[in-house]
Structure 1
Amino acid sequence: MRCLKRFSMTFLPYQRLLLLLFCWLGLLNATAQPMQTATGLAYHRVRTVDPADPDLTDLAFLKQEVGPARVVFLGEPTHGEGNVFEAKTRLVRYLQQQGFGTVAFESGFYEVARAQQAIEAGQNPAACLAKSLFPIWTHSREFQPLTALVGKGNLKVAGFDPQLSGEYSEELVEELHAFLGDKSAAVPFDYLEEVITAMGLFYTFPPTHQYDLFNSAIGKATKQLRQVAAADPPRRAQAEFWLQTLASLNALARSYAQSDAGAKGAEGFKAQDSNVRDQLMADNLLWYLRQHPTEKVICWGATPHFAGPLAGLQNPELQAFRPMGSLVKGALPAGQVYLLGTATAGGAYGNVHGPRQTVPTPAPGSLEAQLAAVGPEYLFVPMQQAALRTTTASLFEYQPVAGNWSQVLDGLLFLKTVRPPVYVEPAVPPTPRDSLRLTKSSGGTLAADVRRRLTVRAAGPGPATGQVHGVVLDQQTRA
């Protein structure tokens, strides 16, 4: 009896622990079960978007939502919602716990790779990001918590944009020259430098230069890089990186030369004008995934680029647009890609260098109006629902579009109100960018009227956007 009594006394704490464990598991299960709106729309309640909050249990439902996905896209409506940056950073923290190891940005393919190299060499991650990402993020206070998640033994970074971004872009041609070494004699680096500088400054192909000559210069560098890749195994991976960098830049240059979308302005720019860029962004990301076959990647950028097929939306212009998200999803096995967007029903927005605007009041019956009526500040909506096959939503630049939104995104994080980001001094003070560095060796000069045109286009207070029949696809930072 004494032994039995002793056993009972020692067993009781374990019973309590088991009871607590079952209660905790039950709470997690309850958190993972969706609730329903009055109209029958399933949703999950999200407790906070504060990236510093240590408790992530309210996001437990995401494990089932994301499933076996290797790539999760985290979209934002306009690059002008500060608390969306915070919300996305919190999602990044959760996904990091689920084994995701890289954040890939809608910023320069070369520049962010250069930042990762510098971070691995022990340099400050925030400073490296400030020299590689577009300033719409790095100059925003709400983006800063993300930089704390990057570094040695932490998240890696990558870029997928063919456009040039950040101070590191100024080192591209010089670094390529150094990499090729004694194989560089045949490559006209001055010509490459002039064109690439213009592309980085003005998002255009310089009218003083010829694309055929640039293409020839790229071809000569490509030939030398292929020789390095074939004959020098220790440098093969870096040579392949350079091959992808130049292929992406060359395709973008060809697009600029043939159809200068950035010069069309808000009225002339059409959604399909971004098709080349979106294809190149998809190509760059897929290249990264092939080079890192076990890596799980979080993508950070704009919802329009991260959308799935748009054929089901009742907007002919959008139907002609081929977003990066749809291309990547089509290229990878089923279940490997999860497209997550963000939405709101009120507040204000505007990128950190631009004017502020009020979020339009959602139309009655729209997706945003339904979610606002639920009550909580933050909700998550699984988009694969019958109710979303025919609805109106304003997920692209706050313009209402009707159609089958269940094909466009896999999930949607809803914030009842948004607010613009707050400017913060960058980790690295910006350096004055030269105008076009045209050298005597090329014989190129900018006519006064061309110089004025390019200078005016580059002198605005911040990234330009163009309204496209209910959607803004960026032209300078490219949302």
Structure 2
Amino acid sequence: MKRIIVRMTLPLLIVCLALSSFSASARAASEEKHWDSWIERHAQPLDASNKDFRFLKKVLKGKRIVQLGETTHGAGEMNATKVRMIKYLHEELGYDVLAFESGFPDTNASYLNMDQLTPKSTMKNSIYAVWHTEDVVELFDYMKEQKEKGDPLILTGFDIQSMKNSFNDAATQWVKAVNPEKAELLSQSENDFSTLVTDSNTFDEFSQKKEKLVKNYQELIQFAETHASELRANLPKEPKAYEMFMHSLQLRIDVMETYMLEEMKEKLEDYPKNIEDFSFFMRDRMMAEQFQWVAETLYPKKKIIVWGHNYHLRKQNTKMIKDWVQLNGPNMGDYLPERLKKQTYTIGIYAYSGASLNSSDNKTVMPVTSPPPSGSLEALLKAADHPAVFVDFLHTKNKKGTSWMYTPRTALYWGNMEEQMILKEQYDGVIWLEHITPSVIIK
């Protein structure tokens, strides 16, 4: 009897499964048809002129901060698109500050000395080497021109990592005009700061060096407070120059007491129990703190553009279904206070095909996975049938044509590592580029 039931049931089960599979496939095809139709109608084409950004006037209404991400560093078309958008935001919408994912002391010192530097030198002295490219130097040409016109686009940074000597070189000269001995102390402290972790072999050695350096910077801060009027007279004639200088000194102390302390422990394989205490995540927490200071203390009344990686800028990494680290730890977006998040419009940038540079050496070419996974952000926006488009999420409601924004979706980190997210939770809009090529690094 059992055999008869099995013989009768098994074919029926197979038919049911086949019908179910066909039904699911049909539903998916129907959904994608609605998605394609919506994308064709609503994706904003981006061409080679500023006119194509006019839609931003409506999209960014009420937003003081615009964040421009990128899924990969080292892609020429991503840089060029961001440069064009920045020019539009500055000229047409009154965004007057550009905050880079680069060291706060170096970017500000370079901006203060911009009058004495070429655009290329300003670029190399201020931002990380992955952006020392032909397309980005155009932005620094523009900043110099705007400053000379009296309509400056102010450069600043929000990262805590220091990879240059720009602040050392500039600040030493400022202090030297007031007190040569303190200038020597500053220069030596900056040199020792840059090698504190790499040149320490034990935690005791690190601690002793750190304590000495902390005292040095405290002495410099006290000196700067006591001689504030003299320092102000010798700093570049820029608003907030003294505040930038003082904050940079304090930042050195904060970085040593937190980020570098954890870096040293990890170097010695002494790892923290809490994920947030790893230096990788601590960097994002401190970047959020630095940006908050820039937005609320340094430039509280100015409209700000932020340039950084998608990973740092997206709204809330802890809500990712799967991030590239596969830990879903907190990012800069997680740490920003709600009052700033409400003022912010965050744009992610992704590519359908091509290649970019590996930022670890700025030489290795990293190909984009092509074609991208079916149903991914990159695959879906191909329906726009244009080489570059912008899609707004913030002002879009959940319906048949837009449900792809509200359901789990794959998108590619660095163009080749699958991440999963609800797009609406992470971005207010995205820019999609059909093809990218590796940036040309300027020597």
TM band (smaller chain): 0.7 to 0.9
How far off its partner does 1:161 sit? Answer: 1.8
Q: Contact 1:77 / 1:395 at 8 angstroms: preserved in 2?
A: yes
SS of residue matched to 1:345: strand
SS of residue matched to 2:72: coil
User: Judging changes above 3 Å, is the alpha-carbon distance between structure 1 residues 240 and 393 closer, same or farther for their aligned structure 2 residues?
Assistant: same
Counterpart residue type for residue 418 of structure 1: I
Q: Contact 2:68 / 2:347 at 8 angstroms: preserved in 1?
A: yes
SS of residue matched to 2:374: coil
Matched, 1:211 2:217: no
User: Judging changes above 3 Å, is the alpha-carbon distance between structure 1 residues 126 and 189 closer, same or farther for their aligned structure 2 residues?
Assistant: closer
Name the structure 1 match of 2:260. Answer: 256
In structure 2, the gaps of 5 or more residues are 1-33
How far off its partner does 1:144 sit? Answer: 2.6
Name the structure 1 match of 2:140. Answer: 147
TM-score by length of 2: 0.74
How far off its partner does 1:183 sit? Answer: 9.0
Aligned ranges 1:200-239 → 2 under 5 Å: 204=198, 206-207=200-201, 209=206, 210-228=209-227, 237-239=240-242
> Alignment length, in residue pairs?
375
User: Judging changes above 3 Å, is the alpha-carbon distance between structure 1 residues 351 and 221 closer, same or farther for their aligned structure 2 residues?
Assistant: same
User: Judging changes above 3 Å, is the alpha-carbon distance between structure 1 residues 232 and 88 closer, same or farther for their aligned structure 2 residues?
Assistant: closer
Aligned ranges 1:304-315 → 2 under 5 Å: 304-315=311-322
SS of residue matched to 1:225: helix
SS of residue matched to 2:317: coil
C-alpha distance in structure 2 between counterparts of 1:237 and 1:146, whole Å: 23
Aligned ranges 1:171-320 → 2 under 5 Å: 171=169, 174-175=172-173, 177-178=175-176, 181=179, 184=182, 189=186, 192-198=189-195, 204=198, 206-207=200-201, 209=206, 210-228=209-227, 237-254=240-257, 255-260=259-264, 273-289=279-295, 290-315=297-322, 320=328
Counterpart residue type for residue 148 of structure 1: D
Deviations 1:285-340 (A, max 9, x none): 33233222322121112111111112321138666533223434634272x11111
Matched, 1:133 2:127: yes
User: Judging changes above 3 Å, is the alpha-carbon distance between structure 1 residues 232 and 193 closer, same or farther for their aligned structure 2 residues?
Assistant: closer
Q: Contact 1:46 / 1:59 at 8 angstroms: preserved in 2?
A: no
User: Judging changes above 3 Å, is the alpha-carbon distance between structure 1 residues 179 and 393 closer, same or farther for their aligned structure 2 residues?
Assistant: farther
Deviations 1:77-109 (A, max 9, x none): 121211100010111111112111122211221
User: Judging changes above 3 Å, is the alpha-carbon distance between structure 1 residues 166 and 219 closer, same or farther for their aligned structure 2 residues?
Assistant: closer
SS of residue matched to 1:363: coil
How far off its partner does 1:74 sit? Answer: 0.9
Matched, 1:113 2:108: yes
How far off its partner does 1:412 sit? Answer: 0.6
How far off its partner does 1:150 sit? Answer: 0.4
Q: Contact 1:111 / 1:164 at 8 angstroms: preserved in 2?
A: yes
C-alpha distance in structure 2 between counterparts of 1:262 and 1:99, whole Å: 44
User: Judging changes above 3 Å, is the alpha-carbon distance between structure 1 residues 382 and 188 closer, same or farther for their aligned structure 2 residues?
Assistant: same
Counterpart residue type for residue 171 of structure 1: D
Counterpart residue type for residue 197 of structure 1: S
Matched, 1:421 2:439: yes
C-alpha distance in structure 2 between counterparts of 1:260 and 1:206, whole Å: 8
> More helix by proportion, 1 or 2?
2
Matched, 1:407 2:425: yes
Residues 85-94 or 100-109, more deviating: 100-109
C-alpha distance in structure 1 between counterparts of 2:319 and 2:251, whole Å: 30
User: Judging changes above 3 Å, is the alpha-carbon distance between structure 1 residues 59 and 44 closer, same or farther for their aligned structure 2 residues?
Assistant: farther
In structure 1, the gaps of 5 or more residues are 1-35, 426-479
User: Judging changes above 3 Å, is the alpha-carbon distance between structure 1 residues 129 and 86 closer, same or farther for their aligned structure 2 residues?
Assistant: same
C-alpha distance in structure 1 between counterparts of 2:118 and 2:185, whole Å: 34
SS of residue matched to 1:416: strand
User: Judging changes above 3 Å, is the alpha-carbon distance between structure 1 residues 76 and 276 closer, same or farther for their aligned structure 2 residues?
Assistant: same
TM-score by length of 1: 0.69
Matched, 1:158 2:156: yes
User: Judging changes above 3 Å, is the alpha-carbon distance between structure 1 residues 160 and 135 closer, same or farther for their aligned structure 2 residues?
Assistant: same
Counterpart residue type for residue 251 of structure 1: D
Moved over 6 A (4+): 230-236
User: Judging changes above 3 Å, is the alpha-carbon distance between structure 1 residues 142 and 194 closer, same or farther for their aligned structure 2 residues?
Assistant: closer
- Report which structure shows greater RCO (CA 8 Å, sep ≥6): 2
* Root mean square deviation, CA, Å: 3.4
Q: Contact 1:108 / 1:163 at 8 angstroms: preserved in 2?
A: yes
User: Judging changes above 3 Å, is the alpha-carbon distance between structure 1 residues 327 and 343 closer, same or farther for their aligned structure 2 residues?
Assistant: same
How far off its partner does 1:196 sit? Answer: 2.2
Q: What is the percent sequence identity of the aligned residues?
A: 21
Name the structure 1 match of 2:378. Answer: 368
Q: Contact 1:225 / 1:242 at 8 angstroms: preserved in 2?
A: no
SS of residue matched to 2:73: coil
Residues 278-287 or 73-82, more deviating: 278-287
Q: 2:393 aligns with which of 380, 383, 392?
A: 383
Matched, 1:348 2:355: yes
